[in-house]
Amino acid sequence: MLQVNAISKIYLNGTQALDNITLKVEDGEIFGIVGGSGCGKSTLLRLISGLDTATGGIVSVDGVTIIKPHPYIGLVFQEPRLLPWLNVADNVGFGLNEPNTELKKQRIDEALEKVGLSRFATYWPKELSGGQAQRTALARALVTRPHVLLLDEPFSALDAFTRAELQEHLLELWNESRPTLVLVTHDIEEALFLADRIAVMRPYPGRIAETFRINLPRRRDRLSPEFEKVKRDILRSLNTTLISHKIAS
Amino acid sequence: MSATEISLPEIVHEKASAAPIVKSRLKSVWLGMLVPLVLALFWEASVQTGLIVGRLMPPPSRIMMTLWNLWQSGDLTTHIIATTLRVFSGFVVGTIVGTLFGALTGYSLLMRRLFDPSLQALRAIPSIAWVPLFILWLGIFEESKIALIAVGVFFPVYLGVSGAVLSVDRKIVEVGRIFRLSGFELIRRILLPAVLPSYVIALRSGLGLGWMFVVAAEFMGASEGLGYLLVDGQQLGKPDQILAAIIIFAIVGKLSDSLIASIAVPFLRWEDRFGPGA
């Protein structure tokens, strides 16, 4: 279980990025975090990943307090961030601490197959499309079998078709081993398609305004009236957070 | 026939064959030779027709003769080996020290604050200014020459490595952090490969300065070497020998530079860049 307990973050220049955020994500749950830019959602994810440290509060995964990156936690960035001097297979195996080379190769092959990139194992990153590069990044994070996988707007740089395809793909991958997913996105539809719960964040300072439980069965139909209805609710919540912020400032 | 029946073209993966690359390579070599050849012919013709007096401007044919004689006597080989060995030794020393300090100051803020100001101040000294001191300290034989060349090589390598480490993309370093690489592993698996392209450039400019400083070093007293040929040619009034030595410098310098560039090529295939390989 991922627990975020009263986390706050104040930057050195005095800006309060996050204020007293508490949330619990159950094992195997997909948790979406939506909000406009600057609401602190990426900051929150970086704190959970251990890349940054909070000014106050505690993050823990399965009882382990997270103060720096931990093998329980995987992170997929907004950009693929592949190492250009390693081919696709070596990129996938980059974080895999498996001393047995035979086993390591096997796990890399497995991960590549899961993301449909077996044929591209020996390609350089520069030879991949945006979608293929992000799949590689996904495989690199999944191959280490993290308990919690954090995704920071992972598909936002992709075109609409590739994005929809990768969302479906992510669901399939999740369904195989059911890791906990925390997905930060500004795409409400994406959150709705994937998440069990969605937190709407409010900026200045960043905090969680409202949390929605999405009880629609998977695979979700993006055009169904139920989908539309929840989408409208979340949009309304986002708008009110925007408006209330404008009034406050 | 239904409209959805679209047969997908079979995807063929093949790497371009090497033949056209070799062909274009040869073509570029010939193109590169064109300008010097035309200049040489023009020069030769000007001297032969009496347009230029050849005494101080010996024509290419005379330079070639001089080179041939030097080669025949075995002197040329001795001079080339002497100079190349000096450049090589100085280059190795300068590169090792430059890489070490560059990596250290690039990686650690403390080290940068500690060493960089002094090194930058030393860099501001024209390196030739060290010559008298090096001779006093190390004598007039090989040590002082190699020290001078090493100083020349050190600075471009130091600056190149330090700057390259500093400018490694933070985003890629974070990938290392998320996978919990230790400081050493981070250097080995992320920083070093990331700086490799700039490192090759730093080495090449370092080597260029090495060839520059070997002349200064050999001017300060040498009994063999291409620099000695220069001094000797001046003192005995042999412009053809001076030009012969200059041409050898050009050839050996270019060859050594191409050597570094071509050694680096297989390690830099991953680069996604505008221009083709060196």
Chain A touched by B192 (CB under 8 Å) = no
DSSP B155-209: HHHHHHHHHHHHTS-HHHHHHHHHTT--HHHHIIIIIHHHHHHHHHHHHHHHHHH
Cα–Cα distance for residue pair B257/B204, rounded to 1 Å:
6
Classify strands A16-25 and A148-152 as parallel, antiparallel or unpaired. unpaired
Chain A touched by B16 (CB under 8 Å) = no
> Nearest CA to CA, how far is B272 from chain A (Å)?
6
Question: In this model, does residue B154 exceed pLDDT 90?
Answer: yes
> Nearest CA to CA, how far is A147 from chain B (Å)?
14
Confidence label for B183 from pLDDT (cuts 50, 70 and 90): confident
Strand order in the sheet with A73-76: A73-76, A148-152, A180-185, A30-34, A197-202, A207-213
CB distance B214 to B87 below 8 Å: yes
Confidence label for A248 from pLDDT (cuts 50, 70 and 90): low
* Residue of A67, A83, A86, A123 to mutate for B, most B C-beta atoms under 10 A: A83
Q: Which residue of A has its CA nearest to B194?
A: A85
Chain A touched by B265 (CB under 8 Å) = no
Confidence label for A238 from pLDDT (cuts 50, 70 and 90): confident
User: In the A/B pair of chains, how many CB contacts fall below 8 A?
Assistant: 49
Question: In this model, does residue B278 exceed pLDDT 50?
Answer: no
Cα–Cα distance for residue pair A125/A117, rounded to 1 Å:
12
pLDDT tens, residue by residue, A115-166: 889 999 999 999 999 989 999 999 999 999 999 999 999 998 888 888 998 8
Q: What are phi and psi of A3, to 5 degrees?
A: -120, 125
Residues in chain B: 278
Chain A touched by B186 (CB under 8 Å) = no
Within 8 A by CB and 6+ apart from A57, the residues are A4, A5, A6, A7, A8, A20, A21, A22
Cα–Cα distance for residue pair A58/A65, rounded to 1 Å:
7
pTM of the shown model: 0.78
- Which pLDDT belongs to residue A50? 92
Stretch 155-184 of chain B: residues touching chain A, C-beta under 8 Å: 171-172, 174-175, 177-180
- Which pLDDT belongs to residue B20? 64
Confidence label for A241 from pLDDT (cuts 50, 70 and 90): low
Q: Which residue of B has its CA nearest to A122?
A: B270
ipTM: 0.88
Percent share of chain B, pLDDT over 90:
43
Confidence label for A249 from pLDDT (cuts 50, 70 and 90): low
A49/B178 Cβ within 8 A: yes
- Which pLDDT belongs to residue A246? 58
- Which pLDDT belongs to residue B17? 54
Contacts of A81 in chain B (CB under 8 A): 171-172, 174-175
**Mean pLDDT on B195-205:** 92
Least confident interval from A132-136, A148-152, B208-212, B273-277: B273-277
Percent share of chain A, pLDDT over 70:
96
Confidence label for B139 from pLDDT (cuts 50, 70 and 90): confident
Within 8 A by CB and 6+ apart from B91, the residues are B149, B150, B153, B206, B207, B210
CB distance A42 to A19 below 8 Å: no
Contacts of A70 in chain B (CB under 8 A): 180
Chain A touched by B202 (CB under 8 Å) = no
Contacts of B196 in chain A (CB under 8 A): 85
**Mean pLDDT on A20-26:** 91
- Cα A224 from chain centroid (whole Å): 25
The secondary structure of residue A206, as a DSSP letter, is B
pLDDT tens, residue by residue, B76-113: 889 999 999 999 999 999 999 999 999 889 888 899 99
- Which pLDDT belongs to residue B171? 93
Confidence label for B135 from pLDDT (cuts 50, 70 and 90): confident
Q: Point out the residue among A70, A81, A124 whose CB comes nearest to the CB of B172.
A: A81
Buried b (16+ CB within 10 A) or exposed e, B141-151: ebebbbbbbbb
Question: In this model, does residue A192 exceed pLDDT 70?
Answer: yes
Confidence label for B31 from pLDDT (cuts 50, 70 and 90): confident
Q: Which of A161-165, A173-177, B175-179, B266-270 ranks highest by mean pLDDT?
A: B175-179
Confidence label for A223 from pLDDT (cuts 50, 70 and 90): confident
CB distance B139 to B148 below 8 Å: no
- Which pLDDT belongs to residue A126? 92
Question: In this model, does residue B5 exceed pLDDT 70?
Answer: no
Confidence label for B3 from pLDDT (cuts 50, 70 and 90): very low
Work out the widest C-alpha separation in chain A, in whole angstroms.
61
